[in-house]
Amino acid sequence: MRWARYDHKGKISYGIVDGDTIEEVNGIPWENPEKTGNTVSVNDIKWLPPVIPPTFYAAGLNYAEHVIKTAKRIGKEPNIPEKPDIGYRAVNAMIGHEENVVIPKDAGEQVHYEGEIVAVIGKKAKHLSKEDALSCVFGYTIGNDISERDWQKGDRTMWRGKNTDTFKPMGPWIETDVGDLDKLTTTVKVNGETTIEFPTNNMIFDIPTYISAMTRYLTLYPGDVIWMGAEGASPNMKAGDVCEIEITNIGVLRNTFVAEE
Amino acid sequence: MRWARYDHKGKISYGIVDGDTIEEVNGIPWENPEKTGNTVSVNDIKWLPPVIPPTFYAAGLNYAEHVIKTAKRIGKEPNIPEKPDIGYRAVNAMIGHEENVVIPKDAGEQVHYEGEIVAVIGKKAKHLSKEDALSCVFGYTIGNDISERDWQKGDRTMWRGKNTDTFKPMGPWIETDVGDLDKLTTTVKVNGETTIEFPTNNMIFDIPTYISAMTRYLTLYPGDVIWMGAEGASPNMKAGDVCEIEITNIGVLRNTFVAEE
């Protein structure tokens, strides 16, 4: 089932997506919402991030080739993570499917995409074993962890390198039935041309490993999201470019880059 | 005016604190809430963090002596920040005034307090000049940025070093009338003995400088909090210790450390 969050004529709702139609519900997906019977065309809505998380987690470096290429780009030795230390991103930066990514006037040339699978938490969880870890996951969506590499390299934190407004597209919806994670493929296209394709689950530390490690020390809450990192490197994105991230059985997250006015 | 958020017999409300009495309101402080006329004694409530922020910002290193002592502790050269690069903390870790800080079983000896003034945002804000920066601040509260230094030093991120559950006490309330920030003093006591006292505003980068720099790239939203960092170093805190952080014209944030069961 695909759960979207959207704005229709100024009203923000969740709904169930079926082809080009969304059936509105009252409430939020992980709290047994009621169907209202109202339907709307996907052409008549604005897509919103499918959830605004209480805490926005991100694995960051979690695919081997990406670690090596990122290290090379910033002139450091590759440092493959030895344990699943989770990181964070910021809610201010979130936008939905089809919203524009705004490149700040003073950004450098290296504005990059990172196409990631995102686990959406549906149940409060602490002290989960690896075996039970996925029991707290409601479904999956797609994230684009956009990064300005000069700022990422030069600043003391990743505040503007990763968390500038509009730098965190997420969507288009939450899919509850992705099937076998090992059978998913992530494909990124820029202006219709495939720039990278990789097995989504080819992570250094997989989702159960992260959730089990995290919940030793922290409580996960419904609506929390965990962005699982991306493989490879990105070309430099510029105003006018359209970035599409597709993950098997989830869908396509599409965003256009524009210049700050 | 002092705005508290509290739990009274299972109901979560905001209210205005006057001495030992809280007058309940309907709504949230920065949206012109209505007084209900109901009052409750502060002895009959559980204090909650005065806001759950959409984004939880933290300056981290923002007082010179703290930077030098922190560097020495982790065996690195002191690295005084050259610009106001904001950091982040996580909502899962928040607790209120008088709640217990739980030290995990496997924590090392260096569990430390950091007593900080916290700016609470009351208006959506972007592109603020330094002169206008404080116009988006609703009021101030107190934060204790508890840190486990071995994890802070050894992990790739600050996830458990800073964001273990209960490691972010905040409160007791939001004070809207602190007066001149240059006249405030932060005093930390452990088991009744003063361990440090410093001018609250003796920051490397002050609040207007941070807000102006941040809002060049990001939008601040009502309810966001900015923890401004702490001076000096902390003794090692252990189960049974009571930590009190007092800031002039705001109040006292008190929390007891306990061992994980």
- Tens of pLDDT along A137-185? 999 999 999 999 999 999 999 999 999 999 999 999 999 999 999 999 9
Say what the pLDDT of residue A164 is: 98
Q: What is the dihedral of CA B41, B43, B49, B52, to 10 degrees?
A: -40
Q: Do residues B147 and B19 both lie within one domain?
A: no
Do the Cβ atoms of B159 and A60 come within 8 Å?
no
The reported pTM is: 0.96
CB B239 within 8 A of CB B102: no
Name the helix (H) or strand (E) containing B149.
Answer: helix B149-154
pLDDT > 70: what percent of chain A?
A: 100
Q: Which residues pair with B196 in a beta bridge?
A: B188
Q: What is the spatial distance between Cα B100 and Cα B243, in angstroms, rounded to a whole number? A: 10
Query: Residues in chain B whose beta carbon is closer than 8 A to a beta carbon of chain A?
Result: 52, 54-55, 60-61, 81, 83, 85-88, 90-93, 104, 126, 155-157, 159-160, 163-165, 214, 217-221, 224
Say what the pLDDT of residue A78 is: 86
Length of chain A (residues) = 261
Name the helix (H) or strand (E) containing B187.
Answer: strand B185-190
| A55 → closest Cβ in B60, B83, B92 | B92
Per-residue pLDDT at A73 exceeds 80: no
Report the pLDDT averaged over residues B25-29. Answer: 97
Say what the pLDDT of residue A171 is: 98
Per-residue pLDDT at A74 exceeds 80: no
**Residue A253's closest CA among A261, A243, A239?**
A243
The strand pair at A251-259 and A100-103 is best described as parallel
| A165 → closest Cβ in B83, B164, B218 | B218
- Which residues, at least 6 apart from A105, have a Cβ–Cβ distance to it below 8 Å? A259, A260
Per-residue pLDDT at B73 exceeds 80: no
Say what the pLDDT of residue B247 is: 98
Instruction: Match 């939450």 to its residue by tokens.
Output: A174
The alpha-carbon gap from A62 to the nearest alpha carbon of chain B, in Å, equals 12
Q: Do residues B61 and B40 both lie within one domain?
A: no
Q: Do residues B66 and B186 both lie within one domain?
A: yes
Helix boundaries (H) for A7-115 = 64-73
Say what the pLDDT of residue B52 is: 98
Peptide bond into A49 cis (omega under 30): no
Instruction: Give the pLDDT band of residue B244 (cuts 50, 70, 90).
Output: very high
Per-residue pLDDT at A28 exceeds 90: yes
Q: What is the spatial distance between Cα A3 and Cα B250, in angstroms, rounded to a whole number? A: 44
Q: Do residues A44 and A55 both lie within one domain?
A: no
| B217 → closest Cβ in A87, A88, A160 | A160
For the segment B141-190, what is each residue's pLDDT rounded down to a tens digit? 999 999 999 999 999 999 999 999 999 999 999 999 999 999 999 999 99
Q: Do residues B17 and B107 both lie within one domain?
A: no
Select the more confidently predicted residue: A44 or A74: A44
For the segment A108-139, what is each residue's pLDDT rounded down to a tens digit? 999 999 999 999 999 999 999 999 999 999 99
Q: Do residues A146 and A42 both lie within one domain?
A: no
Say what the pLDDT of residue B74 is: 72
Q: What is the spatial distance between Cα A28 and Cα A49, in angstroms, rounded to a whole number? A: 13
Do the Cβ atoms of B92 and A155 come within 8 Å?
no
**Residue B211's closest CA among B221, B220, B202?**
B220
Q: Is A98 left (phi over 0), alpha (psi -120 to 50) or beta?
A: left
Mean pLDDT is lowest, of A72-81, A93-102, A199-208, A215-224, for A72-81
3-class DSSP state of B163: helix
Say what the pLDDT of residue B70 is: 77
DSSP letter at A99? P
DSSP letter at B120? E
CB A39 within 8 A of CB A26: no
Q: Do residues B125 and B5 both lie within one domain?
A: no
Report the pLDDT averaged over residues A66-74. Answer: 81
Say what the pLDDT of residue A232 is: 87
- Which residues, at least 6 apart from B10, have a Cβ–Cβ distance to it below 8 Å? none
ipTM for this prediction: 0.95
CB A75 within 8 A of CB A221: no
Structure tokens at B155: 């992990």
CB B179 within 8 A of CB B249: yes
Q: Do residues A122 and A208 both lie within one domain?
A: yes
The strand pair at A225-227 and A115-121 is best described as antiparallel
Q: What is the spatial distance between Cα A54 and Cα A95, in angstroms, rounded to a whole number? A: 16
Q: Is B9 left (phi over 0), alpha (psi -120 to 50) or beta?
A: left
| B85 → closest Cβ in A104, A126, A156 | A156
Q: Do residues A4 and A78 both lie within one domain?
A: no
Say what the pLDDT of residue B223 is: 98
How distant is the alpha carbon of residue B68 from its chain centre? 22
Q: A12 lies in which domain range? A: 1-48
Q: What is the spatial distance between Cα A232 and Cα A234, in angstroms, rounded to a whole number? A: 7
Chain A nearest-CA residue for B155: A85
Say what the pLDDT of residue A179 is: 97
Say what the pLDDT of residue A159 is: 97
Report the pLDDT averaged over residues B85-90. Answer: 98
Name the helix (H) or strand (E) containing B36.
Answer: strand B34-41
Say what the pLDDT of residue A79 is: 81
State the amino acid at position B43 in one-letter form: N
Say what the pLDDT of residue B72 is: 82
Structure tokens at B130: 């330094």
Please say which residue of A48, A64, A81 terminates a domain. A48
Residue A43: CATH number of its domain: 2.30.30.370
Q: Do residues A58 and A41 both lie within one domain?
A: no
Contacts of B86 in chain A (CB under 8 A): 157, 159
Please say which residue of A14, A30, A48 terminates a domain. A48
Name the helix (H) or strand (E) containing B255.
Answer: strand B251-259
Residue A65: CATH number of its domain: 3.90.850.10
Report the pLDDT averaged over residues A189-214. Answer: 97
Q: How many domains does chain B have?
A: 2
State the amino acid at position A247 in one-letter form: I
**HSE-CB of B255 using CA atoms within 13 angstroms:** 34
Q: Do residues A40 and A65 both lie within one domain?
A: no
- What are the strands, taking DSSP E only, across A183-250? 185-190, 193-199, 225-227, 242-247
Q: Do residues A161 and A87 both lie within one domain?
A: yes
Say what the pLDDT of residue A71 is: 82
Give whole-number Cα distances, B75 to B62, B71, B223, in Å. 19, 6, 37
**Residue A123's closest CA among A139, A135, A109?**
A135
Instruction: Give the pLDDT band of residue B68 (cuts 50, 70, 90).
Output: confident
How distant is the alpha carbon of residue B13 from its chain centre? 20
Q: Please, what is the average pLDDT of chain A?
A: 96
Mean pLDDT is lowest, of A189-193, A243-247, B231-235, for B231-235
Say what the pLDDT of residue B69 is: 81
Q: Please, what is the average pLDDT of chain B?
A: 96
Say what the pLDDT of residue B75 is: 80
To test the contact with chain B by mutation, choose from A51, A57, A92, A163 the residue with the greatest count of B C-beta atoms within 10 A, namely: A92
